[in-house]
Structure 1
Amino acid sequence: MADKSENKGKILYNCYFNRSTEGEQFISEHVFSMQMTGTLTINDGKKTFVMKEGDFRLSRRNKLAKFVKDMGTEGDFRSISVYIDQELLRKISQEKGFTNITPSPVTDAVLVLKNSALYKSYMDSLLVYLQMPPQEQQAIMDLKVREAVLLLLQVNPELKNILFDFSEPGKIDLENFMIKNFRFNVSLSRFAYLTGRSLSTFKRDFEKVFHTTPSKWLLDKRLEEAHFQIANKGRTPSDVYLEVGFEDLSHFSFAFKNKYAVNPSALR
């Protein structure tokens, strides 16, 4: 059976067979998900979250995360996710009077939600609606996203401090953030946004702190981490190149040899 990924606007159904995948992403909107089969391992640079069959989670907006999707006992990986946009949340916040929210002190990229029969029945209903003709889906899917928000508030009322926090990233300590997050392969503009800066201010502040350009620092830092992992931990280049922030193995090997005058595989 072929792999399948169905994106119906705000609803995403993922299905993979006989292969594991890994990658990383910037989470731009809150996402309510159920792990149907297989295992999803998520790392936000601080913590690792392991989602197994039947688990529910809320992935938070404006977060970076690396993930690994592993097959279940039947050789498949399936999940269903609901993307909750800010426009809808602003409307609901006005309706419910959630206009003076104190932001949650929890900073994790992923919140593991308690299992609930309400969550399960809701996710099951989405699978039925995904089978409808496209022209009939839009209005219903918009209602289902609203239903997801109301359901989250009913089962986990404390989530209002996360869902209705509309603040954008403020200017934070650049050195600390970059040292924690250099392994994420995202654009400089994304790093700038997450540290509460324009791109030009980010570059200017970066050179003041690190005395070099962001691009050069990121390359050197990723190569240094890769060198340590290969030389000291006995790992292979193919094990580490994605983990430290490179897109492909050939680019990593070229950059590594250029810096250390040796192929990364020769270190083992």
Structure 2
Amino acid sequence: MGIVYNNYDDTVADPHTFRQLAVKDALFLYYRCPQVDKHVQLFSHYNEIMFTLSGSRTMHHSGKSWTLGKHSCLLTRKTAYLQELPDVVGWEVLAFYFQDDFFRQVFNEYRQYLPLTNLPEPPRDMLMEINVNETTKAFFYSILPYFKQKLPPAEGLLELKFKELLFNIFLDPVNAGLLAYVNSIMDQQKIPLWEVMDANYMFNLTITQFARMAHRSVSAFKTEFQQYYNTSPGKWLTQKRLEHAKLLLDTSGKSVSDVAFVSGFENLSHFSRVFKEKYGTSPLQYKKREVDI
């Protein structure tokens, strides 16, 4: 239990399943999702925009859920999330991976045309719903023929198409929250370490995976972590996960096994051991005690 798959690495490694168009470090994919398990934990060190052509998936993060149906669109920032397989068979999707620098590049190039007055506060969610209007929908469908060509399209053309996508999304007033988020990171050199940790500690990510999402080397990540939190990543993660698990045992009807899974523990036995060390009782005994009170 608790394995977190790198969405970006896994798709790049399987071009047969995930048909790909690449420009520099940006990547457009077209695929039918091969997911078979009811729940999978995924993470990426890239931003990702997903547009559903058919079928459905539900994403969960920090107690919130986003269901993608036909023609719905979602941005996942550099983060982990839980992906749920619904009863609807199949999920045909276009996905666009890119770094923050591409956000900044498009924002700067088209700044004079963007509706930047009276922007709302930037959303804190690591997943953001994107409104799809007729122009944006037409753009996504205009990309599909490129995946069927024998010869790949010119990189210059693809780069223009990638920019067109973001520009159209930015222009839609309904996406003012997303535009506010991009505006907020224009002067940001790198993602704050605390933002990555607070949003993802409940996933069973390794230190290397956390470092990749934060765009730091492992050594730089550990050094900065120690300076910011005054403790090691391992100790901090165990403490945060235990606090999260205890809260779930107190307030939810989840089983002990489910609590261990959604709190980021590697397995049930490890969770039970560290929980007892911290709180003097096993998770099951603690849960029963809460029921008896």
What TM-score, normalized by structure 2, do the two folds share? Answer: 0.64
- Does 2:29 correspond to 1:12? yes
Displacement of 1:127 in angstroms is 1.8
* Helix, strand or coil at the partner of 2:169: helix
Aligned counterpart in structure 1 of residue 166 of structure 2, from 111, 131, 149: 149
Mapped partners of 2:198, 2:223: distance in 1: 20
Mapped partners of 1:85, 1:137: distance in 2: 21
Displacement of 1:121 in angstroms is 1.6
Give the CA RMSD over aligned residues.
Answer: 4.2
**What are the residue-to-residue correspondences of 1:126-205 with 2, within 5 Å?**
126-133=143-150, 135-136=152-153, 138-156=155-173, 158=176, 159-164=178-183, 165-168=185-188, 181-188=200-207, 190=210, 193=214, 199-205=222-228
Mapped partners of 1:85, 1:217: distance in 2: 28
Aligned counterpart in structure 2 of residue 215 of structure 1, from 234, 237, 243: 234
Mapped partners of 1:201, 1:7: distance in 2: 35
Alignment partner, residue 22 of structure 1: 40
Mapped partners of 1:98, 1:215: distance in 2: 46
Q: Would you say the 8 A contact 1:56–1:113 is kept in 2? A: yes
Q: Would you say the 8 A contact 1:229–1:235 is kept in 2? A: no
Mapped partners of 1:217, 1:89: distance in 2: 32
Alignment partner, residue 95 of structure 1: 109
Change (3 A) 1:27 1:49: farther
- Does 2:86 correspond to 1:66? no
Change (3 A) 1:84 1:28: closer
* Helix, strand or coil at the partner of 1:79: strand
Offset from partner CA, 1:156-186 (integer Å, 9 cap, x none): 47354434542336768x6x98566420334
Runs of 4+ in 1 over 6 A off after TM superposition: 99-103, 261-268
Amino acid across the alignment from 1:4: T
* Helix, strand or coil at the partner of 2:148: coil
Amino acid across the alignment from 1:80: L
Alignment partner, residue 138 of structure 2: 121
Unaligned runs of 5+ in 1: none
Alignment partner, residue 105 of structure 1: 121
Displacement of 1:93 in angstroms is 3.9
Q: Would you say the 8 A contact 2:146–2:152 is kept in 1? A: no
Change (3 A) 1:225 1:87: closer
Aligned length: 249
Change (3 A) 1:86 1:17: closer
Alignment partner, residue 68 of structure 2: 51
Higher relative contact order (CA 8 A, sep 6+): 2
Change (3 A) 1:188 1:98: farther
Displacement of 1:28 in angstroms is 3.0
What TM-score, normalized by structure 1, do the two folds share? Answer: 0.69
